[in-house]
């Protein structure tokens, strides 16, 4: 029977994939770049397949490399957990923590991250902000914050907040195109659409009693871009109340179809299901849960009642 693969080789391979650079992988592991290259060469020679296509600027996985990376993460996690299970424990929270979050502009999320970093200085915190619906297990992430509840196998979700979504448009847009009175009127409007799970363009909006198909005019997986497009008078957008509220208050946006569109956005913390949860992961989940009431308070704030005002003119 052949000897099992070396953990150091699997670690070098996995780090190279996640860092997309041999130099960055070497820096994260604290070894020379040449060591990473040698370990990858030994691994490919041992397996008899090419795992990575290397150019001067990038790394790309082959089909064999993609298959190995999926299993390598499981093996490396198991080794880490085995080591942690017998290591002397203390009250210190330390180690690497990789987190994926959506763009969080305009929230207190940054303050929470800074407070966590001050509180646990021995945690090497990697915060990856993206509109992509990342694969936690293949990407090597410990925790993700998501505005969705759909889960892949092997993941656990804990809902932090729920907030309504509402259709909004600028007074200038409504003056030029009219205010929709029913969902069917949206067929004559420019609708600014998001991406389901951050990946596929939306085709429907939620209405009382079900969903209604919408023909979008602009699609973006960045909700802040959709908000800006609505402010610029490009169409009607479906936005979370927490984002739309200040613009409704100022009159820069107007709530349309308030009794017909009945959507809700869920914000959840998602993490891999595992028997042993590293202390730094538990500490970060606890920090998110402690931060959640502020999100909930903002999401449940009463709708502003100030009359809408068109910038530079009369309201529609």
pLDDT tens, 196-205?
Answer: 765 678 888 8
* Residue 116: domain span: 95-158+269-299
56 CB-contact burial (10 Å; exposed 0-12 / middle 13-18 / buried 19+): exposed
Where does a domain end: 30, 54, 86?
A: 86
Mean of pLDDT values over 267-274: 82
Given this model, what pLDDT does residue 252 score?
A: 95
How confident is the model over 50-69, as pLDDT tens digits?
A: 888 876 667 788 888 888 88
With cut-offs at 50, 70 and 90, classify the pLDDT of residue 70. confident
Residue 281's closest CA among 146, 159, 123, 155? 123
| φ, ψ for residue 7, nearest 5 deg | -60, -40
pLDDT at 308 over 50: no
DSSP annotation of 186 reads G
**Position 311 in a domain:** no
How confident is the model over 85-135, as pLDDT tens digits?
A: 555 455 578 888 999 988 765 567 888 899 999 999 999 999 988 877 777
* 171 and 236 housed in the same domain: yes
CA–centroid distance for 60 within its chain: 23
Please state, rounded to an integer, the average pLDDT across all residues of the chain. Answer: 80
pLDDT at 37 over 90: no
Count of domains forming the chain: 3
* 154 and 189 housed in the same domain: no
Q: How many CB atoms lie within 10 A of CB 210?
A: 7
CA distances from 94 to 36, 121, 127, 306 (A): 25, 8, 16, 49
CATH of the domain at 215: 3.40.190.290
With cut-offs at 50, 70 and 90, classify the pLDDT of residue 180. very high
DSSP annotation of 107 reads S
**Position 1 in a domain:** no
């Amino acid at each position: 029977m052949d000897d099992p693969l070396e953990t150091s080789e699997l670690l070098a391979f996995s780090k190279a994939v996640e860092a997309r650079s041999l130099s960055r992988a070497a820096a994260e592991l604290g070894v020379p770049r040449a060591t990473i290259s040698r370990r990858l060469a030994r691994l490919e020679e041992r397996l008899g397949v090419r795992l990575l296509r290397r150019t001067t600027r990038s790394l790309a996985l082959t089909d064999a490399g993609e298959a190995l990376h999926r299993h390598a993460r499981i093996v490396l996690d198991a080794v880490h957990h085995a080591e942690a299970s017998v290591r002397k424990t203390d009250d210190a929270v330390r180690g690497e923590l990789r987190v994926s979050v959506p763009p969080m502009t305009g929230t207190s999320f940054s303050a929470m991250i800074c407070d966590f970093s001050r509180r646990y200085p021995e945690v090497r915190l990697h915060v990856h902000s993206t509109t992509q619906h990342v694969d936690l297990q293949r990407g090597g992430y410990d925790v993700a914050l998501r505005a969705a509840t759909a889960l892949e196998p092997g993941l656990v979700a804990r809902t932090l907040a729920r907030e309504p979504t509402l259709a909004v448009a600028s007074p200038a847009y409504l003056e030029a195109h009219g205010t929709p009175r029913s969902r069917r009127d949206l067929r004559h409007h420019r609708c600014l659409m998001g991406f389901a799970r951050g990946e596929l363009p939306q085709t429907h909006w939620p209405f009382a009693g079900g969903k209604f198909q919408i023909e979008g005019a602009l699609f973006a997986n960045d909700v802040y871009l959709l908000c800006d497009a609505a402010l610029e008078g490009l169409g009607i957008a479906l936005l979370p109340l927490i984002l739309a509220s200040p613009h409704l208050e100022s009159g820069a946006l107007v709530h349309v179809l308030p009794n017909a569109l009945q959507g809700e956005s869920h914000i959840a913390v998602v993490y891999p299901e595992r028997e042993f949860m590293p202390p730094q992961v538990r500490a970060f989940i606890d920090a998110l849960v402690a931060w959640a009431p502020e999100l909930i308070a903002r999401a449940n704030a009463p709708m502003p009642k100030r009359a809408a005002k068109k910038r530079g003119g009369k309201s529609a």
